[in-house]
Amino acid sequence: MRTVAGGRTLRIAKLEIENFRGIREGTVQFSPHTVFVGPNNCGKTTVVEALALLFGRDRMIRQLTEHDFYGSNPQPPDRIRLVATVIDFEGNDPAQHMDWFRDDRGVVKWWNPANGAVMPARADPSWRLACQVAFSARFHRPSLEVETLRYFHDDDAVEDVFSEESATGFPARLIRDIGFFFVPAARTWDRTVSFGSELFRRVVAAGEGQPSESVLTERDRLRAPEARLEQDERLAPIVERLNLELRGFFRTAPKLHLRVTTTDSDGLLESVVSHYAHEGTDLPLPARRHGSGLLSLQHLLLLLQFGRLRAEAHEGFWMALEEPELHVPPALQRRLVHRIQALSQQTFVSTHSPMVAALADPKGVAVLRNDDGQLTSIPLLTSTLPADTPNSVRKLFQVNRVETIAALMHEFVLVPEGRTDYEWIGLLVRAIDLHQSWAAADECRFDAFVGVIPTHDGAVLRTVNAMAPLHPRVVAIVDGDVEGLGYAAALTAAGSPNSGVIIRWADDQMLEDTIGWIIEADAAACLAAIQIDNPAATSAELVTRLKSENRNAGGLKKDTSSYESIAASIGANEACCTRARSLLNAIADLAKGVANPLFVADANNAAVKVFQP
Amino acid sequence: MTIRAVEGAAGCGKTTRLMAMLAETLAAHPLTEGQRVLALTFMHGARRRLSDRLKGVAGLGGRVQCCTVDAFAWRIYRRWRGLAMALGIPAFTEGEFDAVCDAAGLLLEQAEVRSWTAMSFPIVLVDEGQDLRPQRLRMLVALAGATHAKIAADEFQCLDQTLRPNPLVTWLQDTTEPETLVQVRRTNVGGLLAAATAIRGSQRPVNGQGFRILQPGVSVPLAATLLANAIAWRQGGDVAVITPALQGGFALSVVARVAQGPCGQQQNGPYSIHWEGTDREETQLIVGALQLPAAPTAAEACAALRALPPSAPGRAAISWVNNQMHAVGRTAFAREEIEAVIARNVALRRQHGGGGSHLFNAMTVQQAKNREFEGVVVIWPYQVGGDIEHKRRLLYNAVTRAKRWCNIIVQGQNILAGAPFA
């Protein structure tokens, strides 16, 4: 638990979502600094926007439409319902938190940290005081409007808040106290650092720095400018004629004056535009002329200043940030994420960047998955990882977590037998990509759909099991040797993997043999192009050497630079490249459950699809 | 936490004393942000009057939640339903008043709920505490453990025969030493004071200054003449016609006769006297005119409600039906539930003002409780139920509503031969 000295410590323990966007139902538990990862459309943005609906200021709440309801066709009784459980009230004593617990606020609940359940009475001293806040929305057909309500959630049996009108509203005052800020991925920020932006005004006001005297002085100067536009020699005749005309209509003879603002302080603040001058340049340029990097950053930095002020004033600061990797180079991402986490009580970050996700404590990385509207959220590394978990599996969540997270963001997750397979598949994908044209036939669909796990030490069974809770479509690929057959049999016996798809190389073969098969497409040309010591004369020789680690005998196993050279030659050779592509596409097809002529079902085990070179 | 109570006969200024106690407590323990005073009464009319009195209390500034005990009980039960379920309390509906109060009492006995309520309402005020049934007293006892409780009561003004001995008075005697007020402030008219004292002391009330038992109104025209004369000669001010029983229709007939035209030799009248209806009567009036099958469709229900003479509860029922259609997607309804919605809205409207003010009003003793009028005419028919003690209390409650004068019209000579008149 993170504690802001003497101040607010509140955080959200969990969020229940019903009927919102692509989520029919789901629960997400949060750690103090949560980073959401997962494939596209798994609900990352939905979760963050749900928090904004619950805790964001009114102006942050976009008008909802039918499309915000699950299925996009809300019937009268359908409701979007979001329930958040707020915990970490200091002392766990409701009497100390009257702004949350009283007759016109919430009722007392208790959160069980062991299972995340919220109970009406405290049965164990480890349970923490909790308050539940809800958001509900319905589509009112006669007016075609979505009606929304934020209220204290008394219990799950509560009748419909719209038909009973009995809910206790969640007051704007608490929303201010919480200080929830949401930086969406769609950033239209060019005017952000202007006094006109509410954020900037609040930052300045929070620091008691409202520069009101300067503003008023500038306002007065603008009311009576030294050089008056209307007196310009070319403009003056027009203005004079206009004034004459006006005199014909109004007894008071109005005269035109041109001013650059509305000559009140509000107009002045609205007109202020941030400019930046880089070192060595005299003339500052408006922020929007500087490129999106600076623009994105200035907003975030301003928010962080605001967060700092709130922290100093012992006020809350929760921050939701979508895709911090946008516009910010990797080096800054790291700094940014760390700054945000250091200054906020709680952060909610959604990301498509495995690097950003890997910055966080692995316990804070939540993998979201959406199975037909059923949302689940699993911490990347649950503290319940069995004690006997071998290092080979542990590594996936630690040193290799960038790769693991990257794989989990795909529609399908492929678990190969070992590191070599992982590396070879990656090399083939890159080699093909480099030579990809716009022709549809050239398209390699593999990388768009399938993410590969860097399995260690042939721990295919363990790895498949470790990935199963994190992803609904895990595919295993094993060798055609005795061990591989054993893995395949063990997996099938355990009803694993969850996709039901096991891929196996041809009998007595492994991936290196398949590389040989690819080269066979145009062996002479391809082998000649491979830049290695003692070039192989035949593909069979190359395969043998690829399987051997004996460097004295020309063994190439785990020789990365040779791998790269071979892959480059495959990519550069049209026939080989086509074969490699057809292989990868075949694997993608199998993952999707589509039959592909390169693989046939094992006669002994129909779940296993065997490569037929 | 403290419990302070005030007892005293009718008109001694118990409510005034309660307000003074409240002001003292507020001065010693000012409300913090978000806190309010909880003021509980039994009837909606009393709630309105108490609410008016509270406006004058120094240091309160409108920070008061004034509601009926039943409404408060429902609120507690509804908000803590999760805990109620965990405690094994069955589900109740709003109309099951005693059960809901008992459940709220049980909830308030839980330290968490009690302290949550006390945080919101550190001061609890109860007027007319003698009317608390055990289920409601349970709530007060629980709350008193965590709040500053201020209670006004007069056992003799309790009109519920099942509350003897009075539960609240018994509890107060064991818990605190109530202040007793002896000086009647409502009136200083000698005959009125003497009559009230006599009735309370099981004595025969005798005619005196301001208090007269008129000749029996043995027929409706005679009783109407007596009533019309009393009104005509009253020398200004409002008048309440108070009856202990509507059964038999005597009081209704007399009031109707006075409205028809001049009465008796003196030809006093006509006077239009407004009968204060009950929720039930007003509901009946609306529901009776409702042309609705037992299981109407939404369109039928709306059409039937629109065909009614315009009324606020009728409009509220239309909007309820609309909401059920559009918010819940209902297309079929039951006549009973629409009637229930009308009844609920009649009650709601009466709770929040509703009903104009009239110079002459007619009402039951129950309805007159806790109120005062310049002049009172008691119409006492044959059909007054209850034991002698109960009848005394009925008469006492009626007579003590008067500030200047009180006349009594009994339906027959022999009534005067028995209690509470003899």
Q: Do B327 and A77 touch (CB under 8 A)?
A: yes
Q: Do B82 and A154 touch (CB under 8 A)?
A: yes
Q: Do A156 and B324 touch (CB under 8 A)?
A: no
Instruction: Report yes or no: B319 at the A interface, CB cutoff 8 Å.
Output: no
Give the pLDDT confidence score for residue B205 in this predicted structure: 96
Instruction: Report yes or no: B88 at the A interface, CB cutoff 8 Å.
Output: no
Query: Which pTM was predicted?
Result: 0.81
Q: What is the DSSP letter of B327?
A: I
Give the pLDDT confidence score for residue B81 in this predicted structure: 92
Q: Which residue of B has its CA nearest to A162?
A: B327
Q: Where are the beta strands (DSSP E) in B263-348?
A: 274-275
Give the pLDDT confidence score for residue A334 in this predicted structure: 81
Confidence of residue A2 (pLDDT cuts 50, 70, 90): very low
CA distance linking residue B64 with residue A308, whole number of Å:
39
Instruction: Report yes or no: A96 at the B interface, CB cutoff 8 Å.
Output: no
**What percent of chain B is predicted at pLDDT more than 70?**
98
**Chain B residues within 8 A of A160 when measuring between CB atoms:** 327-328
**Chain B residues within 8 A of A153 when measuring between CB atoms:** none
Give the pLDDT confidence score for residue A239 in this predicted structure: 93
With 70 as the cut, is the pLDDT of residue B383 above it?
Answer: yes
Q: Which residue of B has its CA nearest to A78?
A: B328
Assess contact for B143 and A122: CB atoms under 8 A.
no
CA distance B141 to chain A (A): 19
Q: Do B85 and A107 touch (CB under 8 A)?
A: no
Quickly count helices (H) and strands (E) in chain B.
Answer: 17, 12
Instruction: Report yes or no: B79 at the A interface, CB cutoff 8 Å.
Output: yes
CA distance linking residue A369 with residue A356, whole number of Å:
19
pLDDT digits (tens, 9 = 90+) for B195-248: 999 999 999 999 999 999 999 999 999 999 999 999 999 989 999 999 999 999
Instruction: Report yes or no: A123 at the B interface, CB cutoff 8 Å.
Output: no
DSSP per-residue string spanning A123-179: -STT-EEEEEEEEEEEEETTTTEEEEEEEE---TTPPPHHHH---EE--HHHHHHHT
**What percent of chain A is predicted at pLDDT more than 90?**
52
CA distance linking residue B144 with residue A442, whole number of Å:
82
pLDDT digits (tens, 9 = 90+) for B147-202: 999 999 999 999 999 999 999 999 999 999 999 999 998 999 999 999 999 999 99
Instruction: Report yes or no: A107 at the B interface, CB cutoff 8 Å.
Output: yes
Average pLDDT, chain A: 87
Among the ranges given (A120-124, A309-313, A513-517), the one the predictor scored with the smallest mean pLDDT: A309-313
- Half-sphere exposure at residue A429, Cβ-oriented, CA atoms within 13 angstroms: 17
Across the interface, of B112, B325, B326, the residue whose CB is closest to A108 is B112
CA distance linking residue B142 with residue A110, whole number of Å:
23
Give the pLDDT confidence score for residue A190 in this predicted structure: 45
Alpha-carbon dihedral sign for residues A243, A246, A248, A253: negative
Peptide bond into B167 cis (omega under 30): no
Confidence of residue A195 (pLDDT cuts 50, 70, 90): low
Confidence of residue A3 (pLDDT cuts 50, 70, 90): very low
Phi and psi at residue A139, to the nearest 5°: -95, 120
Q: Do A103 and B324 touch (CB under 8 A)?
A: no
Instruction: Report yes or no: B1 at the A interface, CB cutoff 8 Å.
Output: no
A608-611 sheet: strands from edge to edge? A450-452, A412-415, A474-478, A502-504, A608-611, A599-601
Give the pLDDT confidence score for residue A291 in this predicted structure: 73
CA distance linking residue A547 with residue A542, whole number of Å:
9
Confidence of residue A15 (pLDDT cuts 50, 70, 90): very high
Give the pLDDT confidence score for residue B234 in this predicted structure: 93
Give the pLDDT confidence score for residue B325 in this predicted structure: 86
Pick the residue of B323, B325, B331, B333 with the most A CBs within 10 A to test the interface with A by mutation.
B323
Q: Do A108 and B327 touch (CB under 8 A)?
A: no
CA distance linking residue B238 with residue A156, whole number of Å:
53
DSSP per-residue string spanning A529-583: H---SS--SSHHHHHHHHH---GGGT--TT-HHHHHHHHHHHHHSHHHHHHHHHH
**Chain A residues within 8 A of B318 when measuring between CB atoms:** none
CA distance B325 to chain A (A): 7
Q: Do B82 and A142 touch (CB under 8 A)?
A: no
Angle at which helix A511-519 crosses helix A539-547, to 10 degrees, equals 160
Q: What is the DSSP letter of B310?
A: P
CA distance linking residue B43 with residue B365, whole number of Å:
13
Pick the residue of B78, B85, B112, B337 with the most A CBs within 10 A to test the interface with A by mutation.
B112
CA A559 distance to own-chain centroid: 35
CA distance linking residue A415 with residue A454, whole number of Å:
8
Strands A80-87 and A128-140 come out as antiparallel
How many contacts does A have with B, using Cβ atoms within 8 A?
Answer: 90
**Chain B residues within 8 A of A120 when measuring between CB atoms:** 80, 82-83, 85-86
With 90 as the cut, is the pLDDT of residue A438 above it?
Answer: no
Pick the residue of B113, B326, B337 with the most A CBs within 10 A to test the interface with A by mutation.
B326
Instruction: Report yes or no: B327 at the A interface, CB cutoff 8 Å.
Output: yes
Q: Do A101 and B79 touch (CB under 8 A)?
A: no
Give the pLDDT confidence score for residue B37 in this predicted structure: 96
Across the interface, of B80, B119, B328, the residue whose CB is closest to A102 is B119
Assess contact for B211 and B195: CB atoms under 8 A.
yes
Which tokens belong to B298? 């939404």
Partner residues linked to B373 by β-bridges? B402
Give the pLDDT confidence score for residue A5 in this predicted structure: 33
**Chain B residues within 8 A of A157 when measuring between CB atoms:** 81-82, 85
Give the pLDDT confidence score for residue A300 in this predicted structure: 74
Q: Do A76 and B325 touch (CB under 8 A)?
A: yes
Give every CB contact of residue A190 below 8 A, 6+ residues apart in sequence. Answer: A286, A287, A288, A295
Q: Do A95 and B115 touch (CB under 8 A)?
A: yes
Partner residues linked to A375 by β-bridges? A26, A370
pLDDT digits (tens, 9 = 90+) for A157-180: 777 788 766 789 999 888 888 888
Across the interface, of A105, A120, A141, the residue whose CB is closest to B82 is A120
Instruction: Report yes or no: A144 at the B interface, CB cutoff 8 Å.
Output: no
Across the interface, of A121, A122, A138, the residue whose CB is closest to B327 is A138
CA distance A118 to chain B (A): 10
Measuring CA to CA, which residue among A509, A527, A531 is closest to residue A576? Answer: A527
Question: What is the 3 state secondary structure string of A235-267?
Answer: CHHHHHHHHHHHHHHCCCCCCCCCCCCCCCHHH
Instruction: Report yes or no: A117 at the B interface, CB cutoff 8 Å.
Output: no
CA distance linking residue A317 with residue A181, whole number of Å:
7
Tell the burial category of A263 from Cβ atoms under 10 Å away from its Cβ (0-12, 13-18, 19+).
middle
Tell the burial category of A123 from Cβ atoms under 10 Å away from its Cβ (0-12, 13-18, 19+).
exposed
Which tokens belong to B343? 């009844």
CB burial string A481-495: b at 16+ within 10 A, e below: beebbebbeebbeee
Confidence of residue A444 (pLDDT cuts 50, 70, 90): confident
Instruction: Report yes or no: A98 at the B interface, CB cutoff 8 Å.
Output: yes
Measuring CA to CA, which residue among A485, A510, A294, A528 is closest to residue A421? Answer: A510
Place of tokens 């009464």: B41
With 60 as the cut, is the pLDDT of residue A22 above it?
Answer: yes
Q: Which residue of A has its CA nearest to B341?
A: A164
Which tokens belong to A245? 């005309």
pLDDT digits (tens, 9 = 90+) for A224-254: 999 899 999 999 999 999 999 999 899 899 9
Strands A128-140 and A109-111 come out as antiparallel
Measuring CA to CA, which residue among A469, A455, A464, A473 is closest to residue A493? Answer: A464
CA distance linking residue B15 with residue B169, whole number of Å:
17
CA distance linking residue B405 with residue B398, whole number of Å:
12
Across the interface, of A104, A109, A154, the residue whose CB is closest to B81 is A154
Pick the residue of A93, A103, A155 with the most B CBs within 10 A to test the interface with B by mutation.
A103
Among the ranges given (A91-105, A312-326, B123-137, B290-304), the one the predictor scored with the smallest mean pLDDT: A312-326
Strands A80-87 and A11-20 come out as antiparallel
**Chain B residues within 8 A of A166 when measuring between CB atoms:** 78
- Half-sphere exposure at residue A594, Cβ-oriented, CA atoms within 13 angstroms: 7
With 80 as the cut, is the pLDDT of residue B56 above it?
Answer: yes
CA distance linking residue A96 with residue A102, whole number of Å:
11
Q: Do B116 and A155 touch (CB under 8 A)?
A: no
**Chain A residues within 8 A of B65 when measuring between CB atoms:** 103
pLDDT digits (tens, 9 = 90+) for B71-87: 999 999 999 999 999 99
Q: Do B34 and A162 touch (CB under 8 A)?
A: no
Instruction: Report yes or no: A164 at the B interface, CB cutoff 8 Å.
Output: no
CA distance linking residue B410 with residue B270, whole number of Å:
21
